[in-house]
Structure 1
């Protein structure tokens, strides 16, 4: 059994490239179905976040497969166009990378907490699609367990280690911001709204009309229908968008002739806010990469050594399981 992974991430590609590989659940399901037609693939797991898209495969020993090429093929992208923008890992590098990834030490914000949930969601979806196999199940379980251990032992970051808190820092640096509009009532949108309310901002969040009965509204937040978002712009100082929409939630040509806030923050990948918004007079636009700017190059050498010491024990557990499994097959 051979495990191999390849992916594209923020160290290799800017957001305008990464967002092309940010897949919805329905797209992921189609990709899994396509991958499993390959008789040399025993298992597959895809991690797709705002920072990265990675494909993990377990396959026949001795088979050369580039997971990123398969990923491109599955969504009809030209692999040659992106071949220099991906990393390929094999052998020991795969389990080590996954453990470090789950711990948050490969994120743009050091030690961020959301990635462990994203890794967990990735293996759960693969399982739901009957795409994972025992090797990948154990590998992901060990990576998640090691990350929980690291989080319990080390303080990798402050409790304010999510993109929403990074957005708050940007908002606090601006003058005269009192009213905020949050577009999107998903996990990030609700977190953003709650943080704004806790910090004294008058906050309104959009709700999809057809889901009103099922929405969870952060305590203290005002609400409007999603279709009212443009009308609300004239009454706010900052707008933050955080949806899973494949289309822009705010388009420049619809904003241009109206009163609008001077600060736009886009927390989504693919992007929610038309990038041309920054061309509007007196408008500032931050996307995921500009929000994270300055975080990546901070020195964490000492903590990284501690992280490696912890995850080494879990990696050893993985290889013990692997050897035990091989012996069972041979007997």
Structure 2
């Protein structure tokens, strides 16, 4: 297995060029499955990572990725590459929040789930890579439970809402209602908020049971900007959704752009009385929370090590699965032969039933013990020698 990653801490304008919409992710998975056994794509506001179960060389894989995405090949220098063991550790740490710009944030876990789900639905993650993502997601859940990270909540949405309160915002406009938007609405409505306008493409598909909330269509948003103190924008649009000419003159606003590519024209930040913050600025905030999360997370690193070891054991034992199947088949064949022989000689149906049970349980006992020993020796590094002996005992010539 291998992964192609965008290097971390790149400027936003570079990350924008290497981001992948849902449609392009699907297109890329389909194209890469021609040279890969499995493909899972993780594309968020902070990272684009392409995980592949493939024997192809990195050079061939990256060339194929850039061709399918029609990316500028001058951007190849911004990509990095990791292989099997490093990949396993990276993904486990990623699921627990160690790799996030905002240390310990909880968004990444749901993003990993979504990436795995999308791949699974297209039949692109049904082997070792799919199992690794399952284990990483389980690791992230257990890690957060034991580290009690909920006691130090953090995400781009929560930090934006916390800053908005410092500006004494009471009336909000939220543009976009995906995963980040849903979180932002939760934080906004948990405070002393007077009004929240939620802007979506089709207001008929969304209902929020809160009298402070009003759902408005995207083409109506400009009529409401004058009534709000803060705008939080977090759409998945490939273009800007808030332009300079749409802001009323001399309007005082705090604007948080949590999207990649950016939702808000950067020129808006030059207007008087406007405070514009992008995702990179938000990620750099909350140092004290970061210190507390870092201490809490480092004390729970043993959970990651446990999941890494369990996954590696699964990989090793998976290699002997065909041998286990053959041993069981041989035991079943011997059992059936003995039963048939006994039936031909026995005159009592009651005796036959008892004998069948005893013969079957005896066969199973020895077969299962042989399989246990094989697993133990495999994990000790002696699997080949053990298999050679068991084949002589159990498998017919």
Structure 1 counterpart of 2:262, from 255, 268, 271: 271
Higher Cα radius of gyration: 2
Q: TM-score, normalised by structure 1?
A: 0.88
Q: CA deviation at 1:89?
A: 0.9
Structure 1 residue runs without a partner (length 5+): none
For the 8 Å contact 1:178–1:237, the answer to whether it is kept is yes
Aligned residues: 320
Question: What is the TM-score when the length of structure 2 is the normalising length?
Answer: 0.74
Indicate if the aligned counterparts of 1:239 and 1:263 stay in contact, CA closer than 8 A: yes
Provide the residue aligned with 1:318 in structure 2: 311
Q: Structure 1 residue 254 and structure 2 residue 246: aligned?
A: yes
Distance 1:53 1:207 in 2: 27
Superposition deviation, residue 157 in structure 1 = 5.8
CA distance in 1, matches of 2:296, 2:190: 31
Q: In the aligned structure 1, how far is the partner of 2:295 from the partner of 2:188?
A: 33
Structure 2: runs of 5+ lacking an equivalent: 327-397
Q: Comparing both structures, which one devotes a greater share of its residues to helix? A: 2
Structure 1 residue 206: deviation in Å? 3.0
Deviations 1:24-63 (A, max 9, x none): 211111111111122xx11110011111110011112xx4
Contact 1:241 / 1:267 at 8 angstroms: preserved in 2?
A: yes
Q: 1:198-277 maps to which residues of 2 (within 5 A)?
A: 198-208=190-200, 210-212=202-204, 214-217=205-208, 219=210, 220-255=212-247, 258=249, 260-277=251-268
Tell me which residue corresponds to 1:4: 2
Q: CA deviation at 1:7?
A: 1.1
State yes or no: 1:47 paired with 2:42: yes
Distance 2:31 2:113 in 1: 22
CA distance in 1, matches of 2:238, 2:207: 22
- Deviation of 1:296 after TM superposition, in Å, equals 7.5
Matched, 1:179 2:177: no
| Cross-structure match for 1:82 | 75
The reply to whether residue 105 of structure 1 matches residue 67 of structure 2 is no
Equivalent of residue 27 in structure 1, options 20, 24, 27: 24
In structure 1, the partner of 2:15 is 18
Q: Label 1:301 to 1:231 Cα distance change in 2 as closer, same or farther (>3 A).
A: closer
Q: Is the 8 A contact 1:242 1:267 kept in 2?
A: yes
Q: 1:204·1:224 contact (CA, 8 Å) conserved in 2?
A: no
Classify the secondary structure of the residue corresponding to 1:111.
Answer: coil
CA displacement 1:254-300 (0-9 Å, x = unmatched): 33x64534311111122111122112223211111111114589556
Equivalent pair of 1:194/1:218 in contact (CA under 8 Å): no
Partner of 2:377: none
What is the DSSP-based 3-state SS (H/G/I as helix, E as strand, rest coil) of the residue aligned with 1:47?
A: strand
Match of 2:147 among 137, 154, 159: 154
* CA distance in structure 2 between the aligned counterparts of 1:189 and 1:15, rounded to whole angstroms: 20
Moved more, 176-185 or 301-310: 301-310
1:115 matched residue in structure 2: 108
**TM-superposed deviation, 1:304:** 4.6
Task: Report the counterpart of residue 281 of structure 1 in structure 2.
Answer: 272
Higher relative contact order (CA 8 A, sep 6+): 1
Other structure's SS at 2:224 match: helix
Structure 1 runs of 4+ off > 6 angstroms?
none
